[in-house]
């Protein structure tokens, strides 16, 4: 048996309404969607997946190092070739020897990852599996597909036993060429739009998968793949559920099409809501479907953040998505090579600082002579807490950004750039100058040992307007796209206002 | 060690000169320096040359020193290129002083040049950022406007310094620059203009930022053994100080000051055996308005936190107790990176030799120049002292 032992879900903070599309286009082509989530300029499937995975692990108080099987599923990977699980695993501190898989190629990828995770658990080859699903579909701006396209991510922790058991599963496939597809080399998905044919692909494969389940079901809710806000309900009959059961778990009306994260995100939300029995059915064009039956016997630890906090106009939507902006200017001068960036990944992803073996001072990045005592002895690696306090901050306006960041500024607008005093990790704070844990150290003052509790780092602001950052404000770190050069996107931490 | 003297200094105009090359600009500055020497000066007498340039645009990154000295006929003269970002030629002057004081040279040329306006603004920005800490500071999305804005935010938070006080720096320096025929932005600006300009990096607006410039400057430093050959009214290099620090602001001990400037000033004052109160004028590194306010405190013109009051008092205006940036400073005169430090020495020479025209400080004895590289990774301070006035005292 396989159980879901924790779930996390994340959507970007931006929302755009159907009305904004109607104003721009004269119509809105995505039926049944009133509002949808939009990724920020510095987000993609990898960063959203990292956000959701971090939440799932936090919910059940697991560390990345506890994970021995990792899957990443998306129909919109930021690169077509290159194993993104290496970077995702490093962001989450998953062991370098953990099993890793990438699932892509259709919106069914998310449930294929769950399927493979179950196989690993049931074969005994994994004890703690982390399934990370994320998507941000892109279509031609006036297509139904783009109007429906949302953005979000969900992560599930699978273990042999836990509060939510997956009691049954089945799959089904039947060839339907010309349903939603993305040709090699293209960024935009497309479909022929043969309405009845598309619907038949959807209902036939979903019906086929559900029919293969061993037992008759009468679930409290039915989580059904949602390419738009109407199609799931057309599959009610095929799935043997009523439309109210589908509506109870639907996220598409407020978030849009979440692609490979559609079923996992709605499933996570349903589990977080304490639902007892769930039927979950995905659909991937081409076409195929996966069906799962779940029964819960207790609360599933969950951290679900599916609310937005900023509404975009259609013009802002085009800017954030980079539809109407240009690429980086040509130039020269300052340059950070990919190998030198790669060497800094422990700092960029995991905030790995150094603690001086002689005087206990923190350093970031941990290289060179100690700031505190000048020793050239190598610092001991220590991870920072991911929270901190703004020490100095500016809002970069037009003319103030390095050229590498011109495309980002063009898309996101003005941004905050700060120096932040990042906190030492809690278990590293009460140490004396020799790095030994100081059992009696006062939790607040630490005056006896004078061990520095913060280290200053420069960081860009995200997830909030630039004027939301002021000297003295508390912030937390999160991983985002920093910039892209030579075709390689460099990911690293940014800061955002600390969440309560 | 023997004394070193400043016997001549000159510069090209600062601005945008599509018809000029870095070499022709340097030629103009070199000729002006030679012409400024009171008595006969023969270029053949130069023993050593130090040339500061950052190399914006990459036009001649290697051997950029000899590339300009050979252009003015100094083919055989040992020439060293000095790179310390915006303090390149301030440090070139220091090298010339060292060469003379050590006895290795009797006559040394210190100069600098930069051409920054012959490329797209994007390409220029690639180069402007190169003296920031590249891997972390720049990749948090900042160039120097952002880093100095961060310092301004910390200073405002700590001491209550205001945007209006920042704007007053621009008003003062433009008023001075309007009296300097070599100034790039030689026009006056109102406090209202200086407060309502577009924001570049909050709290810094366009009037709080210096321009990008083309230009060159040269200074001639000679030993006490030969100074009488060139002038009857010698200007002594009374004090020299320099300091360095972490390249990135985030790695420094403070954001409300520039420790390298403090170290440089302390050394220079000790060598000159003076206090800041003994100065009659100063040319300070005002690449951004906040930088001039920080300099007031770092150089001891006022206590930490009081720079805002000092600019408001009018003490640093022409006619005040300690006029600062009579040339117009980087803000109005311009900031051709590699030329700036030597250009400050040109202003000191003009003031101390009584040739500063409309912006002349009344009978000055002592002046200071202060040149900063990057956001404070390097700083150099010189104190120049006119000997006639001093001996008469």
Q: What percent of chain B has pLDDT over 70?
A: 99
| Distances from the Cα of B5 to the Cα of A269, B2, B127, B352, angstroms | 79, 10, 34, 12
The pLDDT of residue B297: 98
Contact predicate A260/A290, CB 8 Å = no
Task: Evaluate if residue B21 carries a pLDDT over 80.
Answer: yes
**Residue A197 structure tokens:** 């044919």
Q: Residue B97 — very low, low, confident or very high, per pLDDT cuts 50/70/90?
A: very high
CA distance linking residue B158 with residue B199, whole number of Å: 22
Contact predicate A175/A286, CB 8 Å = yes
Interchain contact, A458 vs B145, CB within 8 Å: no
Averaged pLDDT score across all residues of chain B? 96
The pLDDT of residue B349: 98
Task: Evaluate if residue A283 carries a pLDDT over 50.
Answer: yes
* Helix ranges, A17-108 (H): 18-25, 45-59, 84-92
Q: Please, which residues have CB within 8 angstroms of residue A71's CB and are 6 or more apart in sequence?
A: A85, A100, A101, A102, A103, A113, A116, A117, A129, A130, A131, A132
Residue at token pair 């948090």: B140
Domain ranges of chain A: 2-320, 338-497
Task: Evaluate if residue A403 carries a pLDDT over 90.
Answer: no
CA distance linking residue A401 with residue A412, whole number of Å: 12
Contact predicate B54/B376, CB 8 Å = no
Q: Residue A323 — very low, low, confident or very high, per pLDDT cuts 50/70/90?
A: confident
The strand pair at B48-52 and B281-283 is best described as unpaired
Would you call A379 helix, strand, or coil by DSSP?
coil
Residue B15 DSSP symbol = B
The pLDDT of residue A204: 98
Inform me whether the C-beta atom of residue A401 falls under 8 Å from chain B C-beta atoms: yes
Interchain contact, A329 vs B153, CB within 8 Å: no
CA distance B277 to chain A (A): 32
The pLDDT of residue A428: 60
Q: How many CB pairs under 8 A join A and B?
A: 138
Task: Evaluate if residue B198 carries a pLDDT over 90.
Answer: yes
Would you call A316 helix, strand, or coil by DSSP?
helix
Interchain contact, B153 vs A406, CB within 8 Å: no
Task: Give B243-275 pLDDT, tens digit per residue.
Answer: 999 999 999 999 999 999 999 999 999 999 999
Determine the average pLDDT of the residues in B220-242. Answer: 97
Closest residue, chain B, to A338 (C-alpha) = B135
CA distance B124 to chain A (A): 8
The pLDDT of residue B90: 98
CA distance linking residue A131 with residue A8, whole number of Å: 10
CA angle A40, A424, A470 (to 5 degrees): 50
CA distance linking residue B26 with residue B28, whole number of Å: 5
Q: Residue A332 — very low, low, confident or very high, per pLDDT cuts 50/70/90?
A: low
Interchain contact, B200 vs A405, CB within 8 Å: no
Which residues of chain A from 348 to 367 reach within 8 Å of chain B, CB to CB?
A: 365
Residue at token pair 């290697």: B62
- CA-nearest of B355, B366, B370, B367 to B37 is B355
CA distance linking residue B258 with residue B242, whole number of Å: 12
Task: Evaluate if residue A444 carries a pLDDT over 70.
Answer: no
Count of CB atoms within 10 A of residue B92's CB? 36
Rg for chain A (alpha carbons), in Å?
Answer: 24
Residue B86 among the catalytic residues? yes
Task: Evaluate if residue A434 carries a pLDDT over 50.
Answer: no
Find chain B residues with C-beta within 8 A of A456's C-beta: 250-251
CA distance A484 to chain B (A): 11
CA angle B373, B62, B66 (to 5 degrees): 90
Flag the least confident range among A343-357, B114-128, B162-176. Answer: B114-128
Interchain contact, B136 vs A365, CB within 8 Å: yes
The pLDDT of residue A429: 52
Interchain contact, A334 vs B130, CB within 8 Å: yes
Q: Please, which residues have CB within 8 angstroms of residue B315's CB and are 6 or more apart in sequence?
A: B321, B322
Inform me whether the C-beta atom of residue B61 falls under 8 Å from chain A C-beta atoms: no
Contact predicate A399/A327, CB 8 Å = no
CA distance B291 to chain A (A): 15
Sign, CA dihedral A67-A70-A74-A76, equals positive
The pLDDT of residue B59: 84
Q: Which domains does chain B have, with CATH numbers?
A: 4-118+211-392 (3.40.47.10)
| Distances from the Cα of A179 to the Cα of A187, A267, B24, B290, angstroms | 16, 25, 67, 60
Inform me whether the C-beta atom of residue A339 falls under 8 Å from chain B C-beta atoms: no
Task: Evaluate if residue A432 carries a pLDDT over 50.
Answer: no
Options B86, B189, B210, B302, the catalytic residue: B86
Inform me whether the C-beta atom of residue B251 falls under 8 Å from chain A C-beta atoms: yes
Residue B335 among the catalytic residues? yes
| Distances from the Cα of A430 to the Cα of A37, A383, A422, A441, A476, angstroms | 42, 14, 16, 6, 21
Which residues of chain A from 124 to 143 reach within 8 Å of chain B, CB to CB?
A: none
Residue A471 has its nearest CB partner, among B143, B146, B154, at B154
Residue A394 has its nearest CB partner, among B133, B134, B153, at B153
Interchain contact, B198 vs A396, CB within 8 Å: no
Find out if CATH 3.40.50.1110 is the number for domain A2-320. no
Interchain contact, B127 vs A329, CB within 8 Å: no
Q: Residue A108 — very low, low, confident or very high, per pLDDT cuts 50/70/90?
A: very high
Q: Please, which residues have CB within 8 angstroms of residue B263's CB and are 6 or more apart in sequence?
A: B241, B242, B243, B379
Determine the average pLDDT of the residues in A202-231. Answer: 94
Residue B126 has its nearest CB partner, among A331, A336, A459, at A331
Task: Give B273-304 pLDDT, tens digit per residue.
Answer: 999 999 999 999 999 999 999 999 999 999 99
The pLDDT of residue A430: 47
Closest residue, chain B, to A334 (C-alpha) = B130
Determine the average pLDDT of the residues in B119-133. Answer: 82
Determine the average pLDDT of the residues in A366-375. Answer: 89
CA distance linking residue B379 with residue A400, whole number of Å: 24
Task: Give B40-62 pLDDT, tens digit per residue.
Answer: 999 999 999 999 999 998 888 89
Task: Evaluate if residue B393 carries a pLDDT over 50.
Answer: no
The pLDDT of residue A326: 72
């Amino acid at each position: 048996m396989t159980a879901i032992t924790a779930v996390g879900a994340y959507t970007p903070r931006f929302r755009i309404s159907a009305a904004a599309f109607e104003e721009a286009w004269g119509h809105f082509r995505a039926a049944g969607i009133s509002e949808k989530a939009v990724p920020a300029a510095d987000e993609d499937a990898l960063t959203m997946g990292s956000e959701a995975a971090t939440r799932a692990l936090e919910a059940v108080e697991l560390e990345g190092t506890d994970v021995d099987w990792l899957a990443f599923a998306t129909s919109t990977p930021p690169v077509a070739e290159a194993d993104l699980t290496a970077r995702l695993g490093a962001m989450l501190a998953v062991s370098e020897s953990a099993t890793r898989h990438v699932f892509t190629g259709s919106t069914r990828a998310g449930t294929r990852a769950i399927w493979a995770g179950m196989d690993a658990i049931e074969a005994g080859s994994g004890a703690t599996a982390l399934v990370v699903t994320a998507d941000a579909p892109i279509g031609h701006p006036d297509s139904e597909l783009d109007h429906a396209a949302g953005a979000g991510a969900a992560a599930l922790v699978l273990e042999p036993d836990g509060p939510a058991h997956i009691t049954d599963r089945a799959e089904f496939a039947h060839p339907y060429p010309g349903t939603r597809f993305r040709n090699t080399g293209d960024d935009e998905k497309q479909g022929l739009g043969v309405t009845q044919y598309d619907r038949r692909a959807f209902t036939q494969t979903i019906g086929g998968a559900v029919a293969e389940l061993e037992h008759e079901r009468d679930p409290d809710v039915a989580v059904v793949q949602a390419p738009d806000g109407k199609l799931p309900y057309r599959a009610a009959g095929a799935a043997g559920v009523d439309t109210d059961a589908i509506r109870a778990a639907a996220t598409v009306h407020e978030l849009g099409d979440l692609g490979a994260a559609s079923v996992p995100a709605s499933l996570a939300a349903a589990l977080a809501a304490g639902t007892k029995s769930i039927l979950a059915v995905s659909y991937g064009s081409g076409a195929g479907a996966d069906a799962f039956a779940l029964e819960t016997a207790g609360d599933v630890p969950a951290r679900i953040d599916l609310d937005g906090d900023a509404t975009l106009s259609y013009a802002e939507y085009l800017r954030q998505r980079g539809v109407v902006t240009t690429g980086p200017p040509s130039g020269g001068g300052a340059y950070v090579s990919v190998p030198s960036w790669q060497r800094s990944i422990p700092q960029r992803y995991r905030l790995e600082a150094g603690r001086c073996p002689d005087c206990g001072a923190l350093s970031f990045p941990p290289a060179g002579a100690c700031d505190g005592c000048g020793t050239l002895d190598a610092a001991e690696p220590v991870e920072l807490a991911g929270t901190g306090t703004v020490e100095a901050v500016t809002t970069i306006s037009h003319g103030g950004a390095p050229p590498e960041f011109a495309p980002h500024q063009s898309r996101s607008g003005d941004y905050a750039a700060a120096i932040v005093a990042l906190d030492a990790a809690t278990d590293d704070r009460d140490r004396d100058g020799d790095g030994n844990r100081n059992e009696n150290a006062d939790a607040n003052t630490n005056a006896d040992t004078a061990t520095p509790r913060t280290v200053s780092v420069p960081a860009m602001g995200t997830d909030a307007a630039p004027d939301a950052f002021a000297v003295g404000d508390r912030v937390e770190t999160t991983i985002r796209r920093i910039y892209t050069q030579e075709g390689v996107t460099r990911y690293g931490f940014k800061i955002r206002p600390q969440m309560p | 060690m023997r004394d070193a003297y400043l016997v001549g200094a000159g510069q090209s105009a600062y601005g945008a000169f599509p018809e000029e090359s870095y070499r022709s600009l340097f030629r103009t500055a070199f000729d002006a320096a030679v012409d400024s020497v009171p008595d006969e000066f023969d270029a053949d007498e130069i023993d050593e040359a130090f040339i500061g340039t950052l190399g914006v645009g990459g036009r001649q990154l290697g051997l950029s020193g000899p590339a300009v000295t050979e252009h003015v006929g100094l083919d055989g003269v040992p020439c060293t290129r000095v790179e310390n970002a915006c303090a390149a030629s301030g440090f070139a002057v220091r090298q010339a002083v060292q060469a003379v004081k050590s006895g290795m040279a009797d006559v040394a040329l210190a100069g600098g040049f930069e051409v920054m306006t012959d490329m797209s603004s994007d390409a220029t920005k690639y180069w402007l950022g190169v003296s920031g800490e590249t891997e972390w500071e720049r990749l948090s999305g900042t160039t120097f406007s952002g880093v100095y804005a961060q310092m301004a935010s910390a200073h405002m938070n700590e001491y209550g310094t205001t945007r209006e006080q920042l704007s007053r720096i621009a008003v003062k320096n433009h008023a001075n620059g309007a009296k300097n025929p070599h100034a790039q932005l030689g026009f006056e600006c109102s406090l209202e203009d200086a407060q309502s300009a577009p924001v570049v990096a909050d709290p810094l607006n366009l009037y709080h930022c210096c321009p990008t410039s083309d230009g060159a400057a040269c200074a001639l430093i000679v030993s006490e053994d030969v100074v009488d050959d060139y002038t009857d009214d010698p200007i002594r290099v009374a004090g020299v100080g320099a300091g360095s620090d972490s390249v990135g602001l985030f790695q420094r001990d403070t954001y409300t000051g520039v420790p390298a400037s403090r170290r440089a000033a302390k050394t220079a004052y000790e060598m000159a055996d003076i206090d800041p109160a003994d100065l009659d004028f100063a040319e300070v590194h005002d690449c951004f308005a906040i930088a001039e306010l920080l300099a007031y405190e770092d150089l001891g013109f006022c206590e930490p936190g009081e720079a805002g009051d000092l600019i408001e008092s009018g003490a640093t205006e022409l006619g005040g107790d300690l006029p600062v940036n009579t040339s117009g400073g980087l803000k109005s005169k311009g900031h051709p990176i590699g030329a700036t430090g030597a250009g400050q020495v040109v202003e000191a020479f003009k003031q101390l030799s009584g040739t500063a025209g409309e912006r002349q400080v009344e009978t000055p004895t002592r002046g200071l120049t202060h040149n900063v590289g990057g956001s404070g990774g390097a700083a150099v301070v010189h104190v120049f002292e006119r000997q006639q006035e001093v001996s008469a005292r």
